Amino acid sequence: MDSKLKILFAAAEVVPFAKTGGLADVAGALPKVLVEQGHDVRIVMPRYGSIDGAKYGLRPIIGPFTIPHGKKEIKISIEQSDAIAGVPTYFIRNDYLYDRYSLYGQPDDDHRFIAYCRGMLEMLPQIDWTPDIIHCNDWHTGLVPVYVKTIYAANPALRDIGTLYTIHNQAYQGSFPAEVMNLTGLPLGLFTWDKLEFWGQFNFMKAALIYADIVSTVSETYAKEIQTPEYGEGLDGVLTYRKKDLYGILNGIDYSIWNPRTDKLIPAAFTPEHLEGKTACKCELQREMGLTVAPKVPLFGLISRLSSQKGLDLLDKVLPALLTDQVTQVVILGTGDQYFHDMLTKLAGLHPEKLAVVLKFDNALAHRIYAGSDAFLMPSRYEPCGLGQMISLAYGTIPLVRATGGLADTVHEFEPQAGAGNGFVFTSYTPKALRMAFGRALAAYADPAQWAAIMQNAFQCDYSWETSAKKYLEVYKKIRGKVPVT
Ligand code: ADP
């Protein structure tokens, strides 16, 4: 077997083209590192109307061709960008399906992502390139393993492709009414409880879990958690059934983007040895957010989708008293559930000098918050991997997290005696446990020697992609061992 692998990385969002969450960060970073390690890696994603074609140099490479779609055919074309150095990115273009105001949440998402899965496989003979592995990510790609093993099982160009399916969030499964079976073009006989049917519904994620050669998720702890009813979102039985083929590989972060030495989006650079720049970032953030400019007041940042997954319901119960009783400040950047928008807006109105809330998606502001905060809040109910805690560590901003999923694997409670640990961690999902974690963080902050120690521990953490990429390569090679090459 050739040690150089050909990998098609399939993801519905990819930095820098389109992003709503961590999946896009992963899809923009892991392929680059695999290329640096000598592999031929390409990406495929939908050509959303929101992508700036001129900025990223998108160009048509394959003119319109038809692909099967339900009982009909639709036309797609292929565009390419080389904006990610060394990683050709292919875009499946069909303006009716993808030229929309948002990436997901459209009533015809079933159509959109069935066409994406089918389209990428039909694209391969057109570009005359057959990958060894298609690395599928999240439910939008869930039909690829099924198609390879059924409709294309006799197609010499596609039948030997191995598939890895990575779960970035167990809660988003792509569940649709049973009639979707007709759209997929798959034999109706596959709609059974042990294959594609899931409690009467058609479920993209279940389809992938059954058909992918190997399944992975984005941290070791989450790989164990999703096999339990508490975290499995109904699919814990299927995941337990596949547990011999289920791996947990932690995401990394891209230190060329998240680096306080070189970050052009923050007001002042800093290093672990020279922290004056961090103080400048903090004061500038306080000024920008309309908070009292006070370098010695502890400042907590939070950058997140505003949903109960992210622990916003716990903060709802804890923040009012914290802001009333403690000398502290909080900056929150996020969008999400209207309930939390209203809750935070109201609270900020009560404490304008202590709480600043910005309800939008703003990458540059996110950089300024990571750099200017003292501590970073992630009290998540569940967290497959979490990037925010790893990014904040790179900026010497100390994470306060709940011990779940990737947060449990990357943040360890600070022990004042030993001087070990890089954050503050609570376990039970209760306001009391979160309050106590705030208490420990504030106590450590009050002692400059302790805070200096914990910051240095944070700066030493290394969650670069190189380590994780090696683990993915081992998994790809296992898949090649499984797939009968004819
Ligand atoms: P998830 O994928 O569940 O949303 P992650 O922690 O894995 O959470 O990744 C979230 C990513 O999105 C991080 O890079 C974070 O900085 C970024 N992010 C989340 N909300 C915002 C926002 N409102 N503005 C800018 N960046 C955001």
pLDDT digit string (tens) for 181-196?
999 999 999 999 999 9
Q: How are strands ordered across the β-sheet holding 398-402?
A: 355-358, 329-336, 299-306, 375-378, 398-402, 424-426
Q: Please, which residues have CB within 8 angstroms of residue 276's CB and are 6 or more apart in sequence? A: 268, 270
- What beta strand segments (E) does 238-328 contain? 246-248, 299-306
CB distance 140 to 172 below 8 Å:
no
Q: Give 199-245 pLDDT, tens digit per residue.
A: 999 999 999 999 999 999 999 999 999 999 999 999 999 999 999 99
Q: How far apart are CA 360 and CA 358, in angstroms?
A: 6
Q: Which of 261, 213, 210, 260 is nearest to 239 (CA)?
A: 210
* CA-to-CA dists, residue 401 to 174, 192, 271, 357, 428, angstroms: 28, 41, 24, 20, 11
pTM reported for the whole predicted model:
0.93
Residue nearest to atom 22 of ligand 1 (CA): 361
Question: To 10 degrees, what angle do helices 338-350 and 312-325 make?
Answer: 0
Q: How does DSSP classify residue 199? A: T
- Segment 288-316 mean pLDDT: 96
Q: Does the structure show a pLDDT above 70 at 485? A: no
Q: Which two tokens stand for residue 318?
A: 């804890």
Q: Which two tokens stand for residue 404?
A: 């779940």
- Strands 133-137 vs 162-167: parallel, antiparallel or unpaired: parallel
Ligand 1, CB cutoff 6 Å, lining residues = 21-22, 25, 303-305, 333-335, 361-363, 366, 385-388
**For residue 483, what pLDDT is reported?**
73
Q: Ligand 1: distance of its center to the CA of 127 in Å?
A: 34
The ligand 1 atom nearest the CA atom of 363: 25
Give SS3 for 450. Answer: helix
Q: Does the structure show a pLDDT above 80 at 347? A: yes
**For residue 486, what pLDDT is reported?**
54
177 cis-preceded (ω within 30 degrees of 0)? no
Q: Give 378-409 pLDDT, tens digit per residue.
A: 999 999 999 999 999 999 999 999 999 999 99
Q: Which two tokens stand for residue 29?
A: 């970073």
CB distance 405 to 384 below 8 Å:
yes
Q: Which of 127, 97, 130 is nearest to 115 (CA)?
A: 97
Q: How far apart are CA 278 and CA 336, in angstroms?
A: 29
* Residue from 387, 393, 411 to probe ligand 1 pocket by mutation (most atoms less than 8 Å from CB): 387
Q: Which two tokens stand for residue 462?
A: 């290394």
CB distance 215 to 175 below 8 Å:
no
CB distance 365 to 261 below 8 Å:
no
Question: pLDDT grade, residue 1 (50/70/90)?
Answer: very low
Q: Report the chain's terminal Cα–Cα distance, integer Å.
A: 13
Q: State the DSSP H helix or E strand holding residue 108, giving kind and residue range, or none if neither.
A: none
* Residue from 26, 303, 312 to probe ligand 1 pocket by mutation (most atoms less than 8 Å from CB): 303
**Mean pLDDT in the chain?**
96
CB distance 392 to 399 below 8 Å:
yes
